[in-house]
Amino acid sequence: MRASQYYAPTLRQAPAEAEIPSHKLLVRGGFIRPLTSGVFTYLPLGLRVLRRVEQVVREEMNRAGAIEVFMAVLEPKELWERTGRWDSFQPQPLRTEDRTGRWFCLGPTHEEVITDLVARDVSSYKQLPLTLYQIQTKFRDEIRPRGGLIRVKEFTMKDAYSFDIDEAGLERSYQAMYAAYVRIFERLGLATLVVQAEAGSMGGSDTREFMCLNENGEDTVFMCDSCDYAANAECATSRVCEPDTLEDPGGAYEQIDTPGATTIQAISEMLGMPAQKMIKTLLYRVDDRFVAALVRGDRDLNEIKLQRATGAEELRMATAEEILGLTGAPVGFSGPVGLPDEVEIIADPEIEFLRNFVVGANEADAHLTGVNVGRDFEVSRYADLRQAAAGDPCPQCEAGKLQTRRGIEMGHIFKLGTKYSEALGALYTSEDGEQRPMVMGCYGIGVSRCVAAIVEEHHDEKGIAWPLTVAPFGVVILLLDPDNEELVAIADDLASQLEAAGYEVMIDDRDERPGVKFKDAELIGYPLSIVIGRKTAENGEVEVRRRRDTAEEVAPVAQAVARLQELAEDA
RNA sequence: CGGGGCGUGGCGCAGUUUGGUUAGCGCGUUUGACUGGGGGUCAAAAGGUCGCCGGUUCAAAUCCGGCCGCCCCGACCA
């Protein structure tokens, strides 16, 4: 390809709205252009990178035995109603209506479609196991797109779905995908950390996220500093340590005046007592009932965990009016003592080891001190409700402490079980003649997000440094003097040699000054380059460079391709 | 959805507080000349509904009201 004939507009300055490196560099380098919030156009260079990432994913999926299909973006409402997700999927899918008033959503995921497909065509255990996948555009009405390609409303995703006869089969399919993911991210040049995660709208039990640890990621990961425990903040937990000695419960609790102290911090300051000696009582509306969630004063409640613990479909904090109705007190003074019976009290396990603590009195401007579980109120059950915090003891090993890092979620694998196969009638006849639901798994990779992650991981102050596997062109030939026919001939000759050797080559033959070409090549991030200019050509030489470490050397024209290939080994 | 910021030629910005000729600057673009190994120099030129609608005023990029869009921080996801 000749740059003079190509469409790769670069910008000297990044648009003001871009903040993180991948966003700035992808726009500056002429890979993508914003269309509207969370929606981008791929320019030729960006499309090339996207296709290369897709190809790596495709090869590894095929190698793992998955079979490619291509499903429609439009998914009919009726199918989603059968799994109950038309109204419950979060975020709400983008929807559209045809001229007859029939509703569709722009597919945010394809469990319904694939399960329906397999339900129709597969009926025997002899046809299983089966793993199908596609690489396709997904739509999600993201509440807040951010970070260029990190989170967008329209993106390219690889989604795979496995169908097995039983849990043991699912385990094999799941492990095959796990292994494929490890290979994929390795080939993409992305160091990954596999973490425990929540299933969200997908449902299912065992789920793992493949994270690329990066400060511009949007997820928080907790990892142990001494063992391999790693979990997304949404489900990370910590070990509850029973203290060596427990305080003796004192006499009966006392009510004290705490005017205006509606926060733990305020009470803590007023009483000169640490927040660890207090209990936060959080009242939640859980479907059609109320629950009081108790966590230690210095802790935050994790709503996802509360939702899990209660099995709630919908969950929200009680309103001020509801709190007044339940406790007789305004917000800020709720406590577990004397709550109406219909309010279930669920407590975080840390509460069990607290003695003589402080709680709200269910009365305006008052708290209770010296309160004890069992004596003053009953906890209906204990469940992990607290948000883990950096420094907490590791739940998995004795010595470790948890630390937090930011991460980009590139892939997510789920064991779905029979949720979809039952809802959509994906049954098979077993060897003994019984009808059984297929046991499913699903496996996603954010392909376009991976492009952003690769840039986050592979760039410097000059621009991008693509790994050779995903580079839009593996080699750029900087033809510093495109009017010199001898040099043009050298460039053409080298280009055809390189192409014969399997490289894709961009010849920068634009009528630009050398500096412009050097800057653009570094911004765009070609892994390898050959510089052809008068200076070295006089000696029958060209310059050979590697972007990643700016290695550079001169080589005779005849040996340039061989030298480049040597550099490429490690590009 | 809550909080914050922004909207002025393709990109980056000044001007808005305190209304007042023809709306500036850098980069980019076009033409010409010189140049030619790290975003070069000189000269000339093109390119603007100052986000949109309405209001105040002799006069609005500037003041007021409404709306739209974009970005960032929080609660959700590949």
ipTM of the complex: 0.94
Can you give the pLDDT at residue A194?
96
Which nucleotide's C1' is closest to A202 (Cα)?
B77
Q: A326 and A179 share a domain? A: no
Which nucleotide's C1' is closest to A20 (Cα)?
B72
Q: A274 and A378 share a domain? A: yes
Rounded to whole angstroms, the Cα distance separating A68 from A57 reads: 11
A22 CA to B35 C1' in angstroms comes to 36
A70 CA to B36 C1' in angstroms comes to 52
Q: A421 and A522 share a domain? A: no
A10 CA to B33 C1' in angstroms comes to 27
Half-sphere exposure of A237 (CA within 13 A, CB side): 19
Q: A62 and A192 share a domain? A: yes
Can you give the pLDDT at residue A143?
83
Which nucleotide's C1' is closest to A140 (Cα)?
B77
Phi, psi of A500 (to 5 degrees): -65, -30
Can you give the pLDDT at residue A169?
98
A395 within some domain: no
* pLDDT digits (tens), chain A, 571 positions: 999 999 999 999 998 889 999 999 999 999 999 999 999 999 999 999 999 999 999 999 999 999 999 999 999 999 999 999 998 888 788 999 999 999 999 999 999 999 999 999 999 999 999 999 999 999 998 888 999 999 999 999 999 999 999 999 999 999 999 999 999 999 999 999 999 998 777 777 789 999 999 999 999 999 999 999 999 998 899 999 888 888 888 889 999 999 988 888 888 889 999 989 999 999 998 888 899 999 999 898 988 888 888 888 778 888 888 889 999 998 889 999 999 999 999 999 999 999 999 999 999 999 999 999 999 999 999 999 999 999 999 999 999 999 999 999 999 999 999 999 999 999 999 999 999 999 999 999 999 999 999 999 999 999 999 999 999 999 999 999 999 999 999 999 999 999 999 999 999 999 999 999 999 999 999 999 999 999 999 999 999 999 998 888 999 999 999 999 999 987 7
Whichever domain contains A447, its CATH number is: 3.30.930.10
- With distances taken from each CA to the C1' atom of nucleotide B35, the closest residue turns out to be A513
The H helix count followed by the E strand count for chain A is: 15, 31
Q: A470 and A556 share a domain? A: yes
Which nucleotide's C1' is closest to A480 (Cα)?
B37
Can you give the pLDDT at residue A91?
79
Q: Could you say which nucleotides of strand B lie within 7 A of any protein CB atom?
A: 1-2, 6, 11-13, 26-28, 35-40, 69-78
Q: A330 and A203 share a domain? A: no
A513 CA to B43 C1' in angstroms comes to 20
Q: A365 and A411 share a domain? A: no
Q: A328 and A472 share a domain? A: no
Whichever domain contains A272, its CATH number is: 3.90.960.10
Half-sphere exposure of A209 (CA within 13 A, CB side): 25
Can you give the pLDDT at residue A307?
86
Whichever domain contains A474, its CATH number is: 3.40.50.800
Which nucleotide's C1' is closest to A27 (Cα)?
B11
A34 CA to B10 C1' in angstroms comes to 14
CA angle A34, A219, A64 (to 5 degrees): 85
Can you give the pLDDT at residue A82?
95
A17 CA to B17 C1' in angstroms comes to 25
Distances, alpha carbon A494 to alpha carbons A5, A13, A175, A499, A510, in Å: 19, 33, 45, 8, 18
Q: A470 and A451 share a domain? A: no
A492 CA to B73 C1' in angstroms comes to 52
Q: Are A542 and A523 in contact (CB under 8 A)?
A: no
A118 within some domain: yes
Q: A359 and A294 share a domain? A: yes
Q: A181 and A261 share a domain? A: no
- With distances taken from each CA to the C1' atom of nucleotide B6, the closest residue turns out to be A17
Can you give the pLDDT at residue A488?
96
Which nucleotide's C1' is closest to A537 (Cα)?
B37
A123 CA to B75 C1' in angstroms comes to 43
Domain that holds residue A332: 254-382
Number of domains, chain A: 3
A12 within some domain: no
Rounded to whole angstroms, the Cα distance separating A507 from A498 reads: 12
- With distances taken from each CA to the C1' atom of nucleotide B11, the closest residue turns out to be A13
A294 within some domain: yes
A32 within some domain: no
Q: A259 and A232 share a domain? A: no
A231 within some domain: yes
A322 CA to B25 C1' in angstroms comes to 59
Which nucleotide's C1' is closest to A478 (Cα)?
B37
Torsion of CA A552, A556, A562, A563, to 10 degrees: -20
